[in-house]
């Protein structure tokens, strides 16, 4: 077993656990869509006070709708190059964002500064 994989019985006590990082494709989204039970699980984790951060290699544009509607703190996209974070914590009764200006409620944090990203995009 890899050093970073441990049985749940060896995990920190719930009060010591800060958050959950998870893959998106074929983990949260079998067949390309998130299931209602997965959304409920994300909302339950948030309700417990845990930070929830899904991670994907997919492009930032593909990830924006998820970051804007799922009950998560942020989504890391493009293999770690971009983090989509919420500007405010406003959820409806089931832990989802209300249906208004979702993309405008996200801020993008890039691994590189804008000048470096422009050079890399032109390469």
Containing structural domain, residue 32: 17-122
Exposed / middle / buried, residue 24 (Cβ in 10 Å: 0-12, 13-18, 19+): buried
CATH number of residue 33's parent domain: 3.40.50.1000
Q: What is the pLDDT of residue 88?
A: 56
Domains of the chain: total: 1
Tell me if 11 is assigned to some domain: no
Q: Which residues pair with 86 in a beta bridge?
A: 106
Distance CA 76, CA 87 (A): 15
Q: How far is CA 122 from CA 9, 37, 114, in A?
A: 49, 42, 12
List strand residue ranges (DSSP E) for the chain, in order: 19-23, 51-55, 74-77, 82-86, 106-110
In this structure, what token pair is assigned to residue 111? 């691994």
pLDDT, block means (10 residues), the chain with 123 residues? 61 77 90 90 88 92 89 89 71 45 59 63 59
Please indicate, yes or no, if residue 8 is contained in any of the structural domains.
no
pLDDT score for 91: 46
What is the pTM (predicted TM-score) of this model?
A: 0.67
Is 46:52 a contact under the CB 8 Å cutoff?
yes
The pair phi, psi for residue 4, each rounded to 5°, is: -85, -10
**Is residue 9 included in any domain, yes or no?**
no
Between CA 117 and CA 123 the distance in angstroms is 10
Question: What pLDDT was estimated at residue 92?
Answer: 45
């Amino acid at each position: 077993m890899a050093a970073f994989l441990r049985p749940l019985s060896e995990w920190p006590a719930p009060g010591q656990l800060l958050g959950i990082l998870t893959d998106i494709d074929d983990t949260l989204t079998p067949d390309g869509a998130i299931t209602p039970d997965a959304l409920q699980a994300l909302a339950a984790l948030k309700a417990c006070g845990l930070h929830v951060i899904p991670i994907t290699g997919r492009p930032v544009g593909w990830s924006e709708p998820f970051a804007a509607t799922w009950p998560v703190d942020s989504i890391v996209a493009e293999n770690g190059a971009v983090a989509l974070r919420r500007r405010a914590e406003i959820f409806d009764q089931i832990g989802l964002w209300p249906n208004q200006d979702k993309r405008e409620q996200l801020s993008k944090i890039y691994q590189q500064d804008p000048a470096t990203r422009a050079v890399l995009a032109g390469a």
